[in-house]
A and B are shown apart, each in its own frame.
Chain A
Amino acid sequence: MASFKPTKIQIYPQLGAKVTQDTLYWKNYKAPVQVKEFGAITNIDFSPLAPHNYAVTASTRIHIYGPFSQEPVKTFTRFKDTAYSGRFRSDGQLLVAGCEDSVVRLFDVSGKVALRMFKGHTKAVHVADFTSDCYHILTCSDDYTCCLWDIPNSTELTKYKEHSDYIRCGATSKLNKDLFVTGSYDHTLKMFDARVQKSVMTMDHNHPVESVLFYPSEGLLVSAGGRYVKVWDLLKRGQPLVSLKNHHKTVTCLCLSGNGQRLLSASLDRHVKVYNTTNYKVVHSFDYTASILSLALAPEDESVVVGMTNGILSIKHRKTSEEKQGPTGQPRRQPVFRVFVKGRNCVPKQDDFLVSKSAKSHLAKYDKQLKRFNVSKALDTALEKNRKPEITVAVIKELDRRGTLKNALAGRDEQNLSQLVNFLIGNVVDPRFAPVLVTATEMILDIYKAVVGQSSVVDRQLVRLQELVEREIDYQQDLLEVLGMLDTLFASTLPRKEEVCREHAPVSYEISYFRGYP
């Protein structure tokens, strides 16, 4: 008596999913550590000094975390309202933060009380940053203005009133103490020189600007707004260089990797994308559980810190070299393990009588149904959510082989049928599944043509299916035309040898799937 042979899931060759150096590099992080903050995390900034603490601005506080502890090492709570943009000075001694109450506060990292309070804005200050000479502070506010302040005597130096909407981002140059850039919700980026009283350069982003970033060389400027990330060439008077559209929601944050070779963008669509800065292709992407508001990388990419709208701070640390090798070498010896292994490594002695225990074979759910000849149920289990389409197609193929596909497809109510048609819409034009699913589609149309028009849901789906198939047929026709052109090209380039006719096989396969489809 042979045992039941489970349905064979065909393995299709995977195209394009290659392991690159980048995926290896960016996957080499440990499982994330998650810390719950009080509100949405709007800014994260790493200290440039050695332990590389980082300041996390959320709600009315700024927490400073050490590189390894999950508990904040220091907290600044002297805010009347929501704090914004807590940033370190380049020597790591001072920290500046804006606030919803329009006051900008300057803290000593070791102290608690604000050293200076800069009052002059009339609305919330979302950006505050030090200039590269460490003596001035740049602030941008929702009152459409940006200001330069002097730290020693806490006076306002200059006020620029060029923007016509909230200013929500800004960056100071690390090389020149007088240069800084602001981005505003009036869709423009403006570059200012402290030595003159007005902007020196204006760039139009076309969307409310959420974040700006200088390249280390400061020849290029990156801005994020709407779903777009744009790169500008400052040396060519702000000419747009590239426009990237890889997110499907607003991009909120930008940062560069430690060596400046990769650009990272975070978005409300819960993804972080990593771009190669030479060709601006996405080389990797991270998924998070909620919309991302802030993102920072530790120096040398030692950790990736992401703050989200739901107040969760996610910290990923890079794996050290021994952890990278995985749990090889000495296996862990624990009592639990010993219990688990009990008797398994026992070798029978010569006189022992061996009683073999038949290994129980575990069948998948759909196989259990197939074994019982419950064809409809087998199809139902195969159509369950989150099943790979390969499995569903394999079950459909098996049912077809048994000659019972028609029975399995028939007798479905509106909900069941729409689920089925939905699956077909998703997969029928996939060249891997087309040969099987085209048969199934024809059968469904045959079975249910009598009841077309009774359900608006199914009718809508059928129309979609029809459109899809028509489009695919047009596409295949175009491909065939291209193939014909290629054939003539090949024929003319081949050496004149009349007997031999070579063909490029793989292309002709894909096309043959749709030949003969009505």
Chain B
Amino acid sequence: MVEHTGIRVVHRGGSKINFREPVITSDSRFLLCGSGESVKVYSTSTEECVHDLQGHTDLVTGVVLNPSNHLQAYSCSADGTVRLWDFTDGILIKTFIIRYHIFSIHVSEKHVGVLFVVVPMANEKELFQLVAVHLPRSGDPEVEVGELSAVLCDVSPNPGAVSFGTGGEYIAAAKGLQLEVFFFKKQKSYRFSLKSGMNKGINNSFTCISCHPKEDCIATGHADGKIRLWRNFNQKKEYTYSTLHWHHNAVNTLRFTPEGSTNLLSGGIESVLVQWRYTQENQKDFLPRLGAAITHIAVSPDGSLFCTSHADNKITIILSSVKVSAIIQGLVKDDCVRTDLMIDPRSKALVLNGKPGHLQFYSLHRDKQLYNLDIVQQEYIHEQGVDQFQVVKAAFDTHGDWLATVEERRQKSSELEINLKLWSYDEQTQSFVLNTTVTAPHEDQITAMCFSPSPETTLLVTTSLDGHFKAWLCQLAKKIESASWSCDFVGGYHLLKPGCCCFSADGSLLAFGFQEVVTVWSPTSWELLTTLSQPPGAVRDLCFGRLSCSKYLLGTSTKNQLCCWNLLTCSLEWNTPMDVSLLQADPFSENMAAFCSQSGSTDLFVFKPSEPRPLFSKKALCTGKVERAIFAPRDQMLESSEEYSQWLNRSQLYFLTQHMDLMTFSTKTEEDRLLASSKQLMVDDSVAITPFYLLLGRHKQQQQEKQELLTNPLAERTPLPQGSIAIKELLDTPAHVLPSASFLCSMFVRSLLVSSSSAR
């Protein structure tokens, strides 16, 4: 087995945009947020990503606007650097190297040239301190920062628990049951602590903090849902606080709006944005049903826009009149993907379960969520401890006309609730419409579900832990809306529990894994054709070969076996001992991908069932098991001729690691192409793009290239005049958009000349 260096494993989109608080620029046109290892700049009006500021080598942990220049922003990262960006042009201005894992960043207008960052304490990793960083004045793009002075010790790493007050006169930080306020003028700090309510069953620890922009008032949020407004805290004894209570769960975030009409915004798991009128706290405005728990609130410097980050990787932009104006939605990643990864045959989007009770359609090429499909169609109750319906299985038929989904809810005491829903594609609305609901299709959990690929019938097969599999047949009508589904066949095998099912590529065979036995059925007559078995170990995954390998059936078992049966002879062709956690067939070729977990990490093998040698193998792909992977079609075919990367020509393999990172493989040719396109974009940026420019500008570029070619002594030969790009361009462009003939003429003649250097 050879390790190939031409193929790299890369992160591909889908990173969290709700990890830290987003920032709205002072003109309210852009929104900046950390997304994985980069900072993304979104337009607040169109929701489109304008720039992707790349440079950090680890998770971005905070973004703030530069208080002395409102067109610049600082970002801090876990890689120990703070970077200064010009976000309108997407340019990195400076890098400050701090050499500590930075957890959050804070700035204030009063403290010019000073950044406040939270870093771990030197001796103990569990404790954190807030330090002031004095930025050195130097012209170099990379500056080492030596001078760190501690401001507060033992602070919370949560950026919401530290806040500047009254334009930077003091800084307040909360941790546990203690609030600490540090006055810069007096260089003195006061501590206020709450009595623990633990013995009464109340958790009243601090969760977040926000300071009033003008008055001496600190608002703190607590885990029991209360908000306290602290006043007179510039002395030890006579401080006061008042309590506001609406939230029934922890207050996740608090924010004062800037001066003018100062209000207090708060949010929590209820997913309701609450606006409290300052000084008239019994007057509240609500914005309910925002979709998921609110994790951060940000306010634009002029107070005209709010935005809320949500637990489902979403940023909602809200006008100050408490109306939603835009939603920026990233890939929703729950703690696990219950449905498999799928590709929608129509939109070629990646489909997986997203928000609770929804399926999300995510465009891999544009790194953008296309839409959410509400599967459960029930009011979502934002409360802890409520059993919600979960979408656990989904399947598309070959043309994308039908979508089948299974949702289930397991109550604490009583039995399982399962619904099987069948959705038909509506051409007019361009989305799926519910056609049939089957309540309780099986008596126990559904383990696998697949559509028949045969074009004649629309058939769905489900297998369940109750020991049966069922075939659901669609009675097609003239209109797809009036089609209906009914159960066609119920079968089983010795009351064993079926775990997986798979159709052959032409739909003539259907294989079920009944624990240790593989049964092969004919879906037309529902006859049991043959049984195959390779004990010990239950069958985990089944896969038919495709195209030239369609006589093979592959199966993996829990006892570390990968078997290949020949269906013509009904005998075992080969088997090999490996712990395959996932077997995935490429729908566009004979290739199969097997992810094997070995001593804590995962190896990948790509092979053809008919050949003994794998096409490609990669050891230690990532740590942990890979449970979900999918071959996605490419929009443009690659023309790689190297043997080891040929399997990536028509499709691309995406997989989800244990930490829910979406990864893929990229080849050298692909990266070259990407690089080239980004270079061209750079040139395009400098001049306004008009149709005329596009034509002329490209000519200029080609001239430059040619000049490079001329000056390059290693250039071996000029291209033949017939194949010259200049001629082709001249002949292909319509006459009415061409520049004047005199301009073209000289260029044309020059392109015909044989250069002296190559003639030599």
A residues near B, CB below 8 A? 1-8, 10, 370, 398, 400-403, 435, 439, 497, 499-503, 505, 508-509, 512, 516
Are B386 and A1 in contact (CB-based, < 8 A)?
Answer: no
Residues of B within 8 A of A401 (CB): 378, 381, 386-387, 389, 409
1/0 per position for B531-544, CB-CB distance to A under 8 A?
10000000000000
Q: Who on chain A is nearest to B290 by CB?
A: A1
Q: Does chain A have a CB within 8 A of B379? A: yes
Are A503 and B490 in contact (CB-based, < 8 A)?
Answer: yes
Contact of A512 among B378, B385, B443 (CB under 8 A): B443
Contact of B379 among A4, A403, A501 (CB under 8 A): A4
Are B387 and A403 in contact (CB-based, < 8 A)?
Answer: yes
Residues of A within 8 A of B383 (CB): 402-403
Q: Does chain A have a CB within 8 A of B377? A: yes
Residues of B within 8 A of A403 (CB): 381, 383, 385-387
Residues of B within 8 A of A516 (CB): 415
Contact of A8 among B288, B377, B492, B495 (CB under 8 A): B377
Are B492 and A5 in contact (CB-based, < 8 A)?
Answer: no
Contact of B291 among A2, A6, A400, A505 (CB under 8 A): A2
Size bin of chain B's contact surface: 20 to 34
Residues of A within 8 A of B495 (CB): 501
Given contacts A402-B386, A499-B528, A503-B492, 14 further A-B pairs with CB under 8 A are: A1-B290, A4-B289, A5-B379, A7-B379, A10-B439, A401-B386, A401-B389, A403-B381, A403-B386, A499-B494, A499-B531, A501-B493, A501-B495, A512-B443
Are A501 and B378 in contact (CB-based, < 8 A)?
Answer: no
Are B378 and A5 in contact (CB-based, < 8 A)?
Answer: yes
- CB proximity of A484 to chain B, nearest CB, Å: 16
1/0 per position for B401-425, CB-CB distance to A under 8 A?
0000000010100110000000000
Ordered nearest first, which 10 A-B pairs have the shortest CB separation?
Answer: A5-B379, A403-B386, A1-B324, A2-B289, A402-B381, A505-B490, A501-B492, A499-B528, A1-B289, A439-B414
Give the complex CA separation of A499 and B528 in angstroms. 8
Are A503 and B468 in contact (CB-based, < 8 A)?
Answer: yes
**Can you name 5 A-B pairs with beta carbons within 8 Å?**
A5-B378, A8-B378, A497-B528, A499-B519, A503-B492
Q: Who on chain B is nearest to A397 by CB?
A: B417
Known contacts A401-B387, A403-B386, A403-B387, A1 near B287 by CB under 8 Å: yes
Max chain B Cβ within 10 angstroms of own Cβ: one of A6, A7, A398, A499: A499
B residues 368-393 touching A (CB-CB < 8 Å) = 377-379, 381, 383, 385-387, 389
Q: Does chain A have a CB within 8 A of B55? A: no
Are A505 and B487 in contact (CB-based, < 8 A)?
Answer: yes
- CB proximity of A501 to chain B, nearest CB, Å: 5
Give the complex CA separation of A508 and B414 in angstroms. 19
Q: Does chain A have a CB within 8 A of B244? A: no
Residues of A within 8 A of B519 (CB): 499
Contact of A3 among B289, B411, B470 (CB under 8 A): B289
B residues 279-312 touching A (CB-CB < 8 Å) = 287-291
Q: Does chain A have a CB within 8 A of B197? A: no
B residues near A, CB below 8 A? 287-291, 324, 377-379, 381, 383, 385-387, 389, 409, 411, 414-415, 439-440, 443, 468, 470, 487, 490-495, 519, 528, 531
Give the dominant DSSP class at B's interface: loop
Q: Who on chain A is nearest to B487 by CB?
A: A505
Give the complex CA separation of A2 and B289 in angstroms. 6
Give the complex CA separation of A356 and B386 in angstroms. 38
Residues of B within 8 A of A505 (CB): 470, 487, 490
Give the complex CA separation of A400 and B389 in angstroms. 12
Residues of B within 8 A of A512 (CB): 443
Give the dominant DSSP class at A's interface: loop
Q: Who on chain A is nearest to B272 by CB?
A: A1
Q: Who on chain A is nearest to B378 by CB?
A: A5
Give the complex CA separation of A402 and B528 in angstroms. 45
Give the complex CA separation of A4 and B531 in angstroms. 51
- CB proximity of B487 to chain A, nearest CB, Å: 7
Give the complex CA separation of A20 and B732 in angstroms. 72
Are A5 and B387 in contact (CB-based, < 8 A)?
Answer: no
Max chain A Cβ within 10 angstroms of own Cβ: one of B289, B495, B531: B289
- CB proximity of B42 to chain A, nearest CB, Å: 19
Q: Who on chain A is nearest to B443 by CB?
A: A512
Residues of A within 8 A of B377 (CB): 5, 8
Give the complex CA separation of A3 and B439 in angstroms. 25
Give the complex CA separation of A1 and B287 in angstroms. 8
Give the complex CA separation of A5 and B411 in angstroms. 22
Residues of B within 8 A of A508 (CB): 443
Residues of B within 8 A of A497 (CB): 528
Q: Who on chain A is nearest to B273 by CB?
A: A1
Give the complex CA separation of A503 and B495 in angstroms. 11
Residues of A within 8 A of B291 (CB): 2
Q: Who on chain B is nearest to A371 by CB?
A: B379
Max chain B Cβ within 10 angstroms of own Cβ: one of A370, A403, A497, A512: A403
- CB proximity of A325 to chain B, nearest CB, Å: 23
- CB proximity of A86 to chain B, nearest CB, Å: 55
Give the complex CA separation of A165 and B470 in angstroms. 69
Residues of A within 8 A of B490 (CB): 502-503, 505
Q: Who on chain A is nearest to B389 by CB?
A: A401
Give the complex CA separation of A6 and B379 in angstroms. 7
Residues of B within 8 A of A8 (CB): 377-378
- CB proximity of A384 to chain B, nearest CB, Å: 21
Residues of A within 8 A of B290 (CB): 1
Give the complex CA separation of A127 and B470 in angstroms. 68
Give the complex CA separation of A503 and B324 in angstroms. 54
Give the complex CA separation of A508 and B378 in angstroms. 29
Give the complex CA separation of A2 and B440 in angstroms. 28
Residues of B within 8 A of A1 (CB): 287-290, 324
Q: Who on chain B is nearest to A4 by CB?
A: B379
Residues of A within 8 A of B528 (CB): 497, 499-500
Are A370 and B379 in contact (CB-based, < 8 A)?
Answer: yes
Residues of B within 8 A of A3 (CB): 289
Residues of A within 8 A of B386 (CB): 401-403
Give the complex CA separation of A400 and B378 in angstroms. 13
Give the complex CA separation of A512 and B444 in angstroms. 12
Give the complex CA separation of A10 and B290 in angstroms. 27
Residues of B within 8 A of A4 (CB): 289, 379
Residues of A within 8 A of B378 (CB): 5, 8, 398, 401
Max chain B Cβ within 10 angstroms of own Cβ: one of A6, A401, A435: A401
Give the complex CA separation of A10 and B438 in angstroms. 11
- CB proximity of B380 to chain A, nearest CB, Å: 8
Residues of A within 8 A of B440 (CB): 509
Max chain A Cβ within 10 angstroms of own Cβ: one of B379, B443, B519: B379
Give the complex CA separation of A8 and B379 in angstroms. 10
Residues of A within 8 A of B493 (CB): 499-501
Residues of B within 8 A of A435 (CB): 415
- CB proximity of B254 to chain A, nearest CB, Å: 21
Q: Who on chain A is nearest to B316 by CB?
A: A1
Give the complex CA separation of A370 and B381 in angstroms. 11
Q: Who on chain A is nearest to B526 by CB?
A: A500
Residues of B within 8 A of A400 (CB): 411
